[in-house]
Amino acid sequence: MTTVKSGMTTLTHFIGGEMKAGKSDRFGKVYNPSTGEVTALCPYASADEVNETVEVAHAAFAGWKNTSVGKRVEILHRFRSLLVQETDKLAEMIGLENGKTISDAKGEISRGIESVDFAINAPQMLKGEYSVNVGGDINAYSLKQPLGVVAAISPFNFPVMVPLAMTSMAVAVGNAVILKPSERVPNSALFISELWKKAGLPDGVWTIINGDKEAVDAILRNPKVHAISFVGSTRVAEYVYHEGCRNNKRVAAFGGGKNHMIIMPDADLDQAVNAFLGAAYGSASQRCMAISAAMPVGEKTAEVFVQKLRTRVKELKVGAYNDEQADFGAVITQESKDTILKYINESLAEGAELTVDGRNPEICEKENGFYLGATLLDRVTPEMKIYRDEVFGPARIVVHVNSLDEAIELINSHEYGNGVTIFTESGSAARKFTEQIEVGMVGVNVPIPIPVGYHNFGGWKRSKFGEGHMFGPDTVRFFTKTKTVSEKWPEAKAKDHKTEFAFPSNN
């Protein structure tokens, strides 16, 4: 997987079924967030390297397209088995590069395998429609065909789950896939490449090209790349969407979120507190579906909820990815840590109340890792920057509201619409909430409403650009094109041939 350059481990790309060294002489540092140490150098591909890689994938597409869907599924079955067998090794890689705990990493892998499971259903999902004698002895039918070379650009926070969700069905329906993983977490993607190879996937059908913006721009502009799935910040998602569309590509770009949890007065507050803890602080809050803001309804609800929550948040432990006692790990980089600290400090200057201070966890005095403890800020208002922006780290907020209507209005007016949840024992409140809320993924007494692999995933508003989804049946539509055929087979040559100039109809 690696070569050695100047005493530092240097990673590769995966092109044409082989690990290949980068040619650009540009590299980025890969860190272990738990220690702050540089563990490897990641090659940053040039535009020329990307274009050469696309040609390799394009050449492999013809054979893969013509491979029977049954044969493709056999390979997916073997790939799934290898993922299960190598879960421990893969989880260790995730922890080393992302910083999340081993248990969290294994949960991510399990959710990623759901997408492989759904892709195994490709034979059923690819079935078209057939109509007999739609008029004039003509039969009509439709079929789904792969697009060709497609690309996925994945984020650092889910090094395995998101790439599998983006690409499994794309492979299953016959495309050649190029994955550009986050340059912060390249090892797990390279390891997945080895598993595809062991599973029997033909060379060139699966590609890893590492890089930064230069590589992304080359993918966006290459005419032989027909579709792009992206996950990252809203700023970059919007750029990828517009640039991709400008170059006549199909694009689904998933951005950030500001996910609210409404706590109604009738809710079981102990249950709500417990749910909030895991949904808000798991993975050091580096999830696009993490709960960012608790929104208790009524001052009495807020007083009891915050009191209970404060006690539990103070008990949370931050530590190294392989510390079995840690509830969550470090954030991804020192820059990320600095940004989170800035949000906390600015919110205090704007009038927020510091309920739990995680800016100086004890571990920070001993370690060089990118650690932040769990921070809880109360009485945050919608005008504050920490409320308006997505904060990708363990600084969570409480916003007080007087009614469910006020909560719905605030959430609907926010620019993001990724996920939201309500905790209540009232069916009527839940129904009103689910009907009126303008958010793509909604939970009722479910803290993180991420759909299972066979339901569509995607937010609304500025949380998603494009009409594609990442999980579920819509992935088949996104990675295929539909062809409709009308055919007629006359029994004998017509004796009285007549030219018709009227628009054809079935009358």
Residues classed as catalytic: 288
In whole angstroms, give the CA distance from residue 127 to residue 13.
Answer: 35
Strand 149-153 relative to strand 225-231, pairing: parallel
- The kind and range of the H/E element at 482 are strand 480-488
Do 480 and 147 meet the contact criterion of CB atoms below 8 Å apart? yes
Cβ contacts of 119 within 8 Å, gap of 6 or more: 76, 168, 169, 171, 172
In what side-by-side order are the strands of the sheet with 375-378? 353-356, 375-378, 395-398, 291-296, 259-263, 419-423, 441-444
- The kind and range of the H/E element at 485 are strand 480-488
In whole angstroms, give the CA distance from residue 155 to residue 163.
Answer: 9
Do 423 and 367 meet the contact criterion of CB atoms below 8 Å apart? no
In whole angstroms, give the CA distance from residue 192 to residue 19.
Answer: 12
In whole angstroms, give the CA distance from residue 240 to residue 465.
Answer: 9
Q: Which amino acid is at 65?
A: K
In whole angstroms, give the CA distance from residue 256 to residue 464.
Answer: 8
In whole angstroms, give the CA distance from residue 126 to residue 479.
Answer: 11
Q: Is 280 exposed, middle or buried (0-12, 13-18, 19+ CB in 10 A)?
A: buried
Do 151 and 180 meet the contact criterion of CB atoms below 8 Å apart? yes
Pair of tokens at residue 405: 């209507």
In whole angstroms, give the CA distance from residue 273 to residue 187.
Answer: 36
Do 190 and 12 meet the contact criterion of CB atoms below 8 Å apart? yes
Do 99 and 332 meet the contact criterion of CB atoms below 8 Å apart? yes
Length of the chain: 507
Pair of tokens at residue 220: 């966006």
